[in-house]
Amino acid sequence: MLTIEPVISITNLDHYFGTGQLRKQVLFDINLKINAGEIIIMTGPSGSGKTTLLTLCGGLRSAQSGSLKVLGTEMCGASSRQLTIERRHHGYIFQAHNLHESLTALQNVKMGLELHSEYSVREMTDRSIEMLELVGLGERANYYPHNLSGGQKQRVAIARALVSQPKILLADEPTAALDKQSGRDVVDLMHNLAKEQDCTILLVTHDNRILDVADRIIYMEDGRLAKAPDLQKVS
């Protein structure tokens, strides 16, 4: 029988910041499996370790203890070269859109393909325009970020994150800087595009208004996965 490997598989993961007397444990015995195409929302109090877990899954820092397999690759003890290679399979969206102010929307989206040498310059442009059309900004391809609203900038960031059709999309507070409607639009867009591309989403948020897009909600408290009885869908 064919067994499908989880996209992210975490076993007994601990994490520490600092060294010597300042060493502090921030993640405790995390065990979690995330399957292809799942939309996972991670929520919980400030300082509970959500961003730390997200950045470990994304290869933005190296995992130290336990096992963290992402797309079949063990990230625990991985070299920085390996992490760089792994990061090419991921899209990232942060609270601040992190667009380059000196580049147009189209040029910003193209940056999402720069590490993918399989595309010609022409293909990069065509795919980026297509992606901007999908996020409803085809008409604004040549606008600079300062001429776009907060929601539009975040939509450009989504286009940039998904243009390379990553297997995993990691999002840290993507709606925090947006008003209610723009936040909703951005999350719906991420949800629809990721489902079309069969992309797995791991999203950290404090925004209770967007919890309904999740297939599964993970609640963190004091560096551990915990049950949250007041949330509708608890893993």
Ligand X SMILES: Nc1ncnc2c1ncn2[C@@H]1O[C@H](COP(=O)(O)OP(=O)(O)OP(=O)(O)O)[C@@H](O)[C@H]1O
Q: Which residues bind to ligand X, rule: CB under 6 A?
A: 17-18, 26, 46-52
How does DSSP classify residue 163?
Answer: T
Shortest CB 15 distance to ligand X, Å = 8
Radius of gyration of the chain (CA): 18
Which residues 6+ apart lie within 8 Å of 125 measured at CB? 106, 110
Shortest CB 24 distance to ligand X, Å = 6
Q: Which of residues 27 and 163 has its CB atom nearest to ligand X in the complex?
A: 27
Q: Which of residues 100 and 209 has its CB atom nearest to ligand X in the complex?
A: 209
Q: Which of residues 139 and 230 has its CB atom nearest to ligand X in the complex?
A: 230
Say whether 217 sits in a helix, a strand or coil: strand
Shortest CB 50 distance to ligand X, Å = 4
Shortest CB 206 distance to ligand X, Å = 6
Q: Which of residues 61 and 100 has its CB atom nearest to ligand X in the complex?
A: 61
Shortest CB 51 distance to ligand X, Å = 3
Q: Tokens standing for 71?
A: 């797309």
Rounded Cα distance between 93 and 60, Å, is: 13
Which residues 6+ apart lie within 8 Å of 166 measured at CB? 89, 90, 91, 199
Q: Which of residues 47 and 136 has its CB atom nearest to ligand X in the complex?
A: 47
